Structure 1
C-alpha cells in the first residue's frame, strides 16, 4: 500500500514484534494499540500468551513509551499514518487490529483510512463518537495542566478509576509506572488531537469483518451500556464483559481477557 503522507514528519515507533514468521494459511498478525497515558507494556500479558502461535506487533504510539515526542497537537490521522508506515516497514499486509480506550479510537481511524487491510477488530473500553464541546474543553485544559504540572498529580487522581485492583497490587503498580513514565508533552499532544477526532460510527457500521468489544464490569470511563451500543453498531460484533475489572482488563484479568481474545481469534478473526 502507499502510506499516507505524514505531517509532522514520520518517526520510528518503538515496538515489539514477536511470533512466528508469516506462512500461507497461517494466522493473521495481531496489532495492538495502547491507550493514554500508557505504553506498549499494557499488552505484555496478551502478547506473551499469543506470540508462540501468532505474530503480535505492539508499538509505543508517538509521544509515549520509548517513541519520540511531538509537542503541540498530534491528530489521530498522524497516529494512523505512523502505524501504516510501521506495518509497511515490517512487511505486514492484512492484519487484525486491537486498541484500548484512545488506542481503540485510533484503531477506528485506521479502519476509516485503510480498513480493507483490517480483517478483524478488537475494541476494549472505547467509544466511537466525536468529542462533545464539554469534552473538548476538558481535554484541552488537561493537556495544559499536564504540561504545567507533569504526570504525578493527574496520576494520583485518575489511577483509582483505571483499575479495580487494590492500590498495593502489582497491577496498580504497573499502571502507575506507565502513567508516571509518559512524557507530559506527548500525552498533552495526544489529548489535543483526541479532542478533534471525528465521529467513527459511520465507518464502523460499514466494517464487515468480525469484531470483539470488551469492557470491564466496573469501567466508569466507558460503562457497560456504552460498550453495548458500540457492539450493536458493528455488523458482526460480540460483546464480552469482564467481571471484577475497570478500564484495563488486559492487565487486571490477563487470563480471562487473554482467553477471550484467543478464542475469538481462533474461531472468527485469526485465519488468512
Structure 2
C-alpha cells in the first residue's frame, strides 16, 4: 500500500516529514505559504496518520519506504523523528536529496557517554512503559514537552493537541517501536558522508533536542547553515511560522 501524501503548490519538490506520533497535517500552518514557491508533499510516515506501517519497523525501513515514493531528486525537510528519517534517506541515497532541512532533530536522540546533550534513556523508557497503561495521556504528555519553555507555549501546545488524533489514533505498537528508534538511533559516525547542503533550524529553549545539538551539527557537517531561534522550543514552525517559512525559502531557492 502507498503512503498517504498530500500535495499542494507548484515548483521544486519539497518533501516534509513530521515527528513521532504526528502526521503530515501538522505542517498545515506553514505548508500553504511554502506552496507558493514549491510543490509541497506532506507525508504521513509509515504507521502514522493514514499510512500503513512497515515491517520490520526500523529507521532504515521507514526511510526506504518514503524514498520509494519519490524516485526523482527532491528537497527534504524533517522535524524531530522525521529529521532522522530524512538524514537516513540522504545518507543512503545521496543523489536523491538535493537539499536537506533538519528541524529540531538529532542524529542521536538519547544520551551516551560521549553525548550528554540529549534525552535520558530513562525518560524514553518511561514513556514506552506508560504507553501501555495510559496511551492517550502519554502521547499528550510527550506533546506538552515539545511546547515547554518556548515563546507562545500555550498556543503551540493547543496547535499540537488539535492535530494529534485528527487522522485517528496511532497504533500503540508502532508508537512503542518509534520510541525504540529514538532510543537507539546514532547516525553521528556517518555524518561525514552527508552530501546535500543542510539547513539546521533549532530552538534555543528546546528540551528534547537541545540547542547544542544544532551547534554541534553546524560544526561537523561539510555544508551547513544554522538558524537558532532564541524564543522557540521543539516546534519552531508553529511558534515562529513567518521566520520558518522565510528561512526555508531563502535556503532552498
TM-score by length of 2: 0.85
Residue of structure 2 equivalent to 1:261: 248
Q: Are 1:130 and 1:200, in contact at CA under 8 Å, matched by a contact in 2?
A: no
Q: Are 1:13 and 1:59, in contact at CA under 8 Å, matched by a contact in 2?
A: yes
Instruction: Summarize the alignment of residues 181-220 of structure 1 with structure 2, pairs less than 5 Å apart.
Output: 182-183=169-170, 184-197=172-185, 199-220=186-207
Counterparts of 1:57 and 1:143, CA distance in 2: 30
Counterparts of 1:104 and 1:46, CA distance in 2: 17
- Residue 16 in structure 1 maps to residue 15 in structure 2: no
Structure 1 portions without partners, runs of 5+: 1-10, 21-26, 267-272
Counterparts of 1:161 and 1:57, CA distance in 2: 24
Question: Looking at CA atoms only, which structure, 1 or 2, has the larger radius of gyration?
Answer: 1
Residue of structure 1 equivalent to 2:37: 53
Aligned counterpart in structure 2 of residue 121 of structure 1, from 73, 83, 100: 100
Q: Structure 1 residue 142: deviation in Å?
A: 2.4
SS at 2:93 equivalent: helix
Residue of structure 2 equivalent to 1:109: 88
Q: Are 2:146 and 2:235, in contact at CA under 8 Å, matched by a contact in 1?
A: no
- Residue 174 in structure 1 maps to residue 162 in structure 2: no
Q: Structure 1 residue 43: deviation in Å?
A: 1.7
Q: Which moved more, 1:150-159 or 1:251-260?
A: 150-159
Aligned counterpart in structure 2 of residue 33 of structure 1, from 9, 17, 24: 17
SS at 1:119 equivalent: strand
Q: Which moved more, 1:53-62 or 1:43-52?
A: 43-52
Structure 2 portions without partners, runs of 5+: 113-118
Q: Are 1:75 and 1:194, in contact at CA under 8 Å, matched by a contact in 2?
A: no
Shift in alpha-carbon separation, 1:40–1:145, aligned structure 2, 3 A: same
For each residue in 1:53-81, what CA deviation from the matched residue of structure 2 results, as whole angstroms up to 9, or x when unmatched? 3111110111212223469x610011112
Q: Structure 1 residue 136: deviation in Å?
A: 5.1
TM-score by length of 1: 0.79
Q: Are 1:33 and 1:100, in contact at CA under 8 Å, matched by a contact in 2?
A: yes
Counterparts of 1:128 and 1:104, CA distance in 2: 8
Q: Structure 1 residue 243: deviation in Å?
A: 3.2
Q: Which moved more, 1:99-108 or 1:160-169?
A: 160-169
Aligned counterpart in structure 2 of residue 241 of structure 1, from 220, 223, 228: 228
Q: Structure 1 residue 179: deviation in Å?
A: 3.6
Counterparts of 2:24 and 2:176, CA distance in 1: 18
Instruction: Summarize the alignment of residues 68-83 of structure 1 with structure 2, pairs less than 5 Å apart.
Output: 68-69=52-53, 74-83=57-66
Q: Structure 1 residue 182: deviation in Å?
A: 4.6
SS at 1:146 equivalent: helix
